[in-house]
Amino acid sequence: MKQIKQIHAHITTTGLAVLDTNLLGRLLSTSTTCTTSYSNELDYITFLFNQLPYPTTFFYNIMIKIHSKTTHSLNAIPIYTQMLWAGLLPDIYTYPLLLKACTQAHAFKLGWSVHAQTVKFALSSNIYARNALIHFYSMNERIKDAKILFNVNDGLDVVSWNSMMSAYVRVGDVFNARLLFEEMPKRSAVTWSAMIAGYVQCGLSKEALSVFARMQVELVKPNDVTLVSVLSACAHLSALEQGRWVHGYMKSNGMEESVFLGTALIDMYAKCGEVELAFEVFNGLKEKNLLTWTTLIKGLAMHGRGQEALDLFSDMEKAGILPDDITFIGVLCACTHAGLVDQGRQIFHSMSRKYGIVPKIEHYGCMVDLLARGGMLNEAREMVESMPMQPDALIWGALMAGCRFYHNVELAEFVGKHLLQLEPDNAAVYVLMSNIYVASGKQEDAKKVRALMEKAGASKTAGCSSIEIRGTIHQFIVGDIAHPQITEILIKWEEIERLLNLGGYVPNKAEVLLDIDEEDKEEALGRHSEKLAIAFGLISTADGVPIRIVKNLRVCNDCHHVTKLISKLYNRDIVVRDRTRFHLFKDGQCSCKDYW
């Protein structure tokens, strides 16, 4: 831009601007490609535009484009009005720019008026304007309107199909998105990326990886956006082998580890239990942003490596990176999983005192969880009752978990009433309350809670565990008999049970349903999903290979105890990621130190 201004000064002082009026127009056009921030140079570019004696539609479009990319994008509308007053007609590029400005500003009614203008000037059927309209309506979640535009016109191109498919993805309708995907006459890398990202956003990570595998078969080269989504799916499923393959693909194809890809790799490795590899990627990145630091802090928190997370947070501050509210959630979670109560208090207070960040309900949730886990139930209750906002089910649930851990029946009953008022159909509340009664020897009260649960029609979420074997994800639910190798799995589990019994193992039946007899309780415990997954892991992998499992619920006490024993019996590292954290079982011990 400095050189642009020097040229401008030269053609002005020499009179060339008067002799050749096209020079100023070319200077304006060039200046828009030389700036990294339109907002910073907007005054100068506007000055250049105002010097044009007879600006054409092309130059008005340039000004509309510039305004559409600033924080005050709706300033593009007066430029359009000025163009009409000058007697100029809009062209096929004008309306996509205006619609982009309206989308950015969330100005639906104004965008609707722009649509009317496309009809008025007979440009609504133009492919560029139509695609922009489909995108505009989809961004505003007006799927029916987008579909009408998509259906009533001929001559659709790949952008039209991608825009409509993305519209379905945006509202979580992956079924119709997939139907459209299969109907497409031609698919670009953007198409594949949108479909994969759609599945990931809806929590359908297995389907996302399936689409990616098909993309490879059809020899479509993935871009950075594709791989970020794939890594996210691998992280969700703890699919380490596939995540490593993606990392290897990046290296073999000379793809640079950008800050976005690098952050996705860190997240994947951390969520797959490979924190050291996450550190390796982190240390090798040329550029790190706030999200990169926060992702690794949260990864350390999940693994119970609280002090390391705090040290990394300190390094981030020294690097001049200012934390945001998401960073503090990660840091407070690190304190929670490691039992660092004093440090958690200090960090919580520093949010507002040092950084001016007002704590949100998530931060209070972390603090209640930290205090409750640390046995400070009264202080946790006081925090809940003094919060500046109404506590939600997660806040009361954190306090309830502390009641379960410390067998505080009186407080549990108080908390349970609040939870059931907020979520009367949540079976987890009834189950937790029942387990607290059982642990306290109050069997009759536990039965009453179970009866209330049945009356409310609340059903407990089935435990589900997954394990990756040679790039394929295998899922098990409690009592599962659907797996093709179920016979071998049950034979292996019988072997495990014999060895456990010889070692003096006694099943912990406290957390099993009360209305079944003792023998059935033992069988029910033996069919928990992670136990089936562990048995499958033992018959499917070589000796010494770590077994990695992801579970959708909190690991129960019996499964936690049994997994510790299996890790010693079979000399295997077993990594379990449950709903809240990682457990590394090794030589009869767990990394959580029974604090989860």
Residues 6+ apart with CB under 8 A from 348: 328, 332, 359, 363, 366, 367
Supply the pLDDT for residue 521: 46
- Tens of pLDDT, residues 239-290: 999 999 999 999 999 898 899 999 999 999 999 999 999 999 999 999 999 9
Strand partners, 477: 464
**Cα–Cα nearest to 116, from 91, 133, 141, 100:** 133
Secondary structure element (H or E) that encloses residue 590, with its range:
strand 589-590
- Residue 313 CA to its chain's centroid (Å): 21
CB 525 within 8 A of CB 509: yes
**Cα–Cα nearest to 206, from 423, 405, 475:** 475
Supply the pLDDT for residue 506: 78
In the chain, where the domains are located? 1-54, 206-278, 464-590
Q: How far is CA 513 from CA 430, 431, 440, 516, 539, in A?
A: 11, 9, 16, 7, 30
Q: How far is CA 545 from CA 247, 571, 574, in A?
A: 21, 10, 9
Supply the pLDDT for residue 355: 93
Classify residue 211 by its DSSP letter: H
**CA–CA distance, 132 with 561 (Å, rounded to integer):** 58
| Helical segments of 253-360, H only | 259-271, 275-284, 290-302, 306-318, 325-338, 341-355
Supply the pLDDT for residue 443: 82
Supply the pLDDT for residue 419: 87
CB 381 within 8 A of CB 359: no
Amino acid at 515: D
**pTM for this prediction:** 0.81
**CA–CA distance, 173 with 146 (Å, rounded to integer):** 14
Secondary structure element (H or E) that encloses residue 339, with its range:
none
**CA–CA distance, 355 with 324 (Å, rounded to integer):** 9
Q: DSSP of 380-428, one letter per residue?
A: HHHHHHH-SS---HHHHHHHHHHHHHHT-HHHHHHHHHHHHHH-TT-HH
Cα torsion angle, 108, 109, 111, 116, sign: positive
Q: How far is CA 360 from CA 335, 337, 367, in A?
A: 17, 20, 11
Supply the pLDDT for residue 517: 44
CB 298 within 8 A of CB 277: no
Supply the pLDDT for residue 281: 96
User: Which of the residues in the chain have pLDDT under 50?
Assistant: 514-522
**Cα–Cα nearest to 532, from 495, 490, 561, 494:** 490
